[in-house]
Structures are given as structure tokens and as C-alpha cells.
A and B are shown apart, each in its own frame.
Chain A
Amino acid sequence: MRAGRTFATAYASLAYGFLYLPIVVLVVYSFNRDGVGGFPPQHWTLDWYRTLFADSAMWTAVGNSAIVAFSTVVLSMLIGFPAAYALDRYAFPGKGAFQRLVLLPLIVPGVITGISLLLLTVSSGFHLSLVTVILGHSTALTAVATTEIFAGLAKLDRSLEEASADLGASRLQTLVRIILPGLRTSLLGTALLIFTLSMDEIAVTFFLIGRENTLPLEIWSRLRRGATPEMNAIATLIFLFSVVTIFLSQWLMTRGQTGTSFVQEGITT
């Protein structure tokens, strides 16, 4: 068993290595003067970061992405909450179909969600812009909001709501005073998750973008023209931002003891 144990640890280390290797490479090379050429990396420098900070087109794209992401969070939560509530609490005809439809964007290739919304936009005579991007993200990410909030609702202690009703509170009052506070950390964690996913969204955005670029698409268009080591710098910054966000979100989730961390579960319910 001893041998088995060390083998298992070694295997696990390799697995983690595989998961983290690319990121380590990026971070290391973002400080490398010669870009991606050469191993081992020599000539440490912050030049690429300097170039990045002077790159106004990139920062405009960041701004656009942030606007889209914030709007998406608001919309997704506003739609996702009642959807999750309805799925958790009510029985109505067509519930199964409704549930499957809501969760569809999780599993259907983003390309398809993107083009179907493109068809809608064009057919109704609208122009592509950040607004269409927001609509696209919201539709796709409502599924995430619904799943997470549904899981959060399922974990709530029902007897608290019954006690509230017993003491005379209306459904709305119970919602505001008992349910929402109980979901607080779950909601915050979900908001962070949706924000992050929206900042990184490409497939749906690809088809709904107008003249203003979001960050991923800006990076994407640069990559098509040929990568510069500046890309390593922005990638590292995005990585750092993601890490901070995830720690924040997990810290919030564990404080609220609402557990579930993944969209995955939605598929299997």
C-alpha cells in the first residue's frame, strides 16, 4: 500500500502539472525580453507590461467587456432567479420542457446560440452592437445563474420559511426577509462567476459583435495578425484577475455554506 500511495501522489502531481503548466509558461515568458523564443528564458524585463499599459485600444476593449459583463450579471440574475424559484417551488405544465430549454445553452455549442441570436437580430432589423452582445451573453449565462441559484434554493432550510409564514409574513416578505438573506453569499458567488464567464466569452460574441470590440475579441484579432509577447503580459494579467476573483467567490461560497461550485450539476438534474 505504501508503494500505491507514492504512485498515487506522483500521478496526482503530474496531473496538476498538466493543468498548470501552460499558465506558468505564460507568466514566465511575459517577463522574457525575447518573447516566446528560446529556452531557458533570459533577459527578464517589464517591457511588455509597459507596452501593454500604453495600448489604448486594448483598454477600450477592457472597458467594453466590463460594461457587457456588468449588464450581463444584472440581466442573468434578474431572469435566473425567478426561473430557479419557479423550478424549485412550483409545478406547472411544461415544466420539464422549460427546464431543458433554460439549461440548453450550457451544453449546446456557443456557436449555435450565437448564430441563432444573429438570425433574430437581422430578422428584426436591428444592428449589431454591444447591446446585442449583452443580450447574447445574458441568454447564454442565464443558464448558469438558474443552475447556481437553484442549487442554493434547494439547500435552504424549508422550515425557516414555514416558520416565517406561520408568524404571519406574506410570501413576498418571506422572500425578502428570509430567502434572499439566506442566499446572499450564493448570489454573490454566482454574480462573480457570471462576470468572469462574460469577460471571457467568445463563441456567442463572435457573431453578435458590432464595431466595438470586447477584450477577448480584441486579443483574438491581434492573434490573427501575429502574436506579440505583449499577449503574454495581458494573459498573465487576466490570469491574476481570475485567481483573485475565484478566491473571492469561493471564500464567499464557503462562508455561506451553500456548497455547489459548478454548472455541471445542472446538466444532471
Chain B
Amino acid sequence: MGRSRLSAWLVTLPPFAWIALFLFVPYCLLFCYSFWSLDANQQVLHHATFANYLHLATTPLYLTVILRSMRIAFSVVLLSLAIGYPLACFLVFQAGKYRQMLYQAVIIPLWISYLVRAYAWKVIFGNEGVMNTLLQWCHATSHPLGFLLYSPFAVIVTLTHIYAPFVVLPVVASLEKIPPELLESSSDLGANAWQTFARVILPLSLPGVLSGATFAFLLSFGDFLAPLLLGGPSSVMIANIVANLFGADYNWPLGAAVAVLILAMVLTILTLTQKLERRWRAA
């Protein structure tokens, strides 16, 4: 018995050690930094203070950016669901023998570089870009539409494009789990197609919807590339604030405080949705 106990330790130790050193310790450091501050010479004062958090609480900029980030993330989720949910239904119920192939077709974009996809939207939305030249060519507009690029619109469309597959996949998984007899039974008892959808399919697909929505929301919320590439000054998101504080706006303690705040928000949302999902799944 001692033998297997030993081998168990040998197995768990390396990952444990790695996680402790490269995840746990850094997060602790982050936490510590958030309580420190900078002195006049831009040196870090290892002196515990709530100054950073106070600054965050009292400066409206941060709340604005956080709310904006949540708004953008929420829009991404709604748009992704609008595109992704019907697509998932199509895959599971209508695709027939093409299902495997079409399912792969949803996954392929995920493997293509984020940068490539974001850049592509920049090409499409630019003043000289595809969208504008197409519209002008059709005489739908007479000059380039400015709002297409460097705006929340561009950020939302790009993020939807990137994260929509993350919504489709879990919805497909939960739709596939519905036993076909339930659908037959509903039909047998007199429900037409729409009633079966509303009363049986939709409720049973909600765990998957929640899971996908959560993932898409949290990833969009913390995204910093899309706003940097395609967003204007009006679409700066909270991750950009952090990046700047660790870059040009050099204030690591303050940046750490914002990071801790983001971390707390992400964990809270995740816990809440997991609880909710567990309750729904059990039904």
C-alpha cells in the first residue's frame, strides 16, 4: 500500500509544484503589488496601503471602462447567440449526413490565428476597405462610413466572429443530449414543431447556452487585442487599461489593483453561472 501512495505523490508533485510556482505565487504577487504604490522616483514602495483601490473607487474613468467592457461583452454574447443558436439547431436537427462536416466547419475558424481574423475585419471595415468600397460601388453610400472602424461596432463584430464558435459548441452538445424519444413523445401528445421547440428543446438546451454564453462573455470582457486593433478611443476596454499601466502609463501597483479587480469579477461571474448551470442540469 505504501508503494501506491508513493507513486501517487510522484504523479501529483510535478504539476502541483509547477502550478504553485507559476500560477499561485504570481497571483499572490499580483495581490501584494495591488497594495503597494509608487514613490516620486517611480520606485515601488513595499508599504501596504489601500490607495490604489481607493483611487479606483473614486475615479469615474475606471467604472466607465468596466461598464463599457461589460456592455460590449454582453452585446457579443447576444449576437453570438443570435447567430450561433439557430446554427446549432440546424446542425443537430437538419444537417443529416452533412453534420460531421458542417460541425468541423464551425471549428476550423477557431484554429486560425486570432490576429489574422481581427486583422481581416480591419481590412473589411477600413475607409478603403471592402465594405466601404462595395457600398460605394453599389451607390448605396457616397462616402466611407466612419463608424465601421475604430468604434465599439467594429470591436463587437470582431469579437462575435472570434467567439461565436465557443457558443455553438456547447449548445450543440446539450442539444445532442436530448433523447429523440422526448421529441417523438411531444409530437405524439399533440404538440406541433414550434411547441415542441419552445417546451422541450429550448429548456433542455439552456445549460449549454449558459455555458457558452459565460465563456464568450468572460473572454470578451477581458479581451485586449480587438479594442487595440479596431477600437477607437471610445472603445478602450478594461484589459487595455491594465496593459497601459504596465506599459506606457507605468504604474505597476495600480495596474495590479485593476487586475485583481478583474480577477475578482471573473471568478464571481463564473461561480454564479456554474451554480445556476448545476441547478438547471439536475432537472
Contacts and interface: CB of A to CB of B under 8 A. Distances in A.
Query: Does A touch B (CB under 8 Å) in the complex?
Result: yes
Nearest to B207: A268
Interface in B202-233: 211-212, 214-215, 218-219, 221-225, 229
Interface in A112-154: 112-113, 115-120, 123, 135, 138-139, 142, 146
B161 A22 contact: yes
Given A23-B109, A264-B211, A15 B12 contact: no
Contact of A37 (B133, B193, B263, B274): B133
A57 interface: no
Contacts of B137: 39-40
A226 to B, nearest CB: 12
Given A38-B133, A109-B262, A142 B30 contact: no
Contacts of B120: 22-23, 25-26, 235
Residue in A202, A232, A238 with the greatest tally of chain B CB atoms within 10 Å: A202
Contacts of B11: 82, 85-86, 90
A200 interface: yes
A82 B262 contact: no
B243 A23 contact: no
11 contacts: A11-B86, A107-B219, A109-B221, A109-B266, A139-B18, A146-B15, A231-B119, A232-B123, A261-B107, A262-B107, A268-B170
Residue in B19, B219, B263, B277 with the greatest tally of chain A CB atoms within 10 Å: B19
Nearest to A254: B100
A62 interface: no
Interface string A248-266: 0010000000000110110
Interface of A: 1, 4-5, 8-9, 11-12, 15-16, 18-23, 25-26, 29, 36-40, 78-80, 82-83, 85-86, 90, 92, 98, 101-102, 104-105, 107-113, 115-120, 123, 135, 138-139, 142, 146, 171-172, 196, 199-200, 202-203, 206-207, 216, 219-220, 223, 227, 231-232, 235, 238-239, 242-243, 245-246, 250, 261-262, 264-265, 267-268
Contacts, number: 241
Contact of A108 (B90, B222, B255): B222
A202 B123 contact: no
B15 A79 contact: yes
Interface stretch (B52-60, B110-118, B145-153, B178-186): B110-118
B111 A139 contact: no
A36 to B, nearest CB: 5
A50 B94 CA distance: 45
Contacts of A119: 26, 29-30, 33, 252, 256
